[in-house]
Structure 1
């Protein structure tokens, strides 16, 4: 994980999954979730759903194992708890607002 690139990390099945908010990743997330500023507002207001969080992580995944599915990523987030996903979410949201 490289914080200078705005990367974050989450644990999935005992492995570290790097999340990199590239332009392409954020465009894909926006196409699925709607405007990114609205996503940030939902998160700030405590209205970001689990499906939204997993979708953002899914689109920002970088060099993920081929066997990783979106469903498994979601299960890993639930298994670890939202508290464990929050630091990575904060990094991604900060990058959406501030850029690199």
Structure 2
């Protein structure tokens, strides 16, 4: 089944694309090659291939949640160069 120039024009209109008249034969040829490739894929026997939602068999890997010793606010503030009323004190950056 060859893709015609009229079909290319119709597809271009549906996709809201503009092509120059001299581009249409090449686009028709390229679309015809794509459709031909799809026809080849339809001939493949995939009866023993399980259905998948992804190409690769990857899963999310999560680490186990575990309770760790937490630092107190006072311990953290001891590392600050400046603190005020229990908070980090930083220079004013907005005039």
The TM-score normalised by the length of structure 1 is 0.27
User: Of the two, which has the highest radius of gyration?
Assistant: 2
Q: Between Structure 1 and Structure 2, which shows a larger proportion of strand residues?
A: 1
> Could you say which structure has the greater relative contact order, defined with CA pairs below 8 angstroms and 6 or more residues apart?
1
- Normalized per residue, which structure has more helix? 1
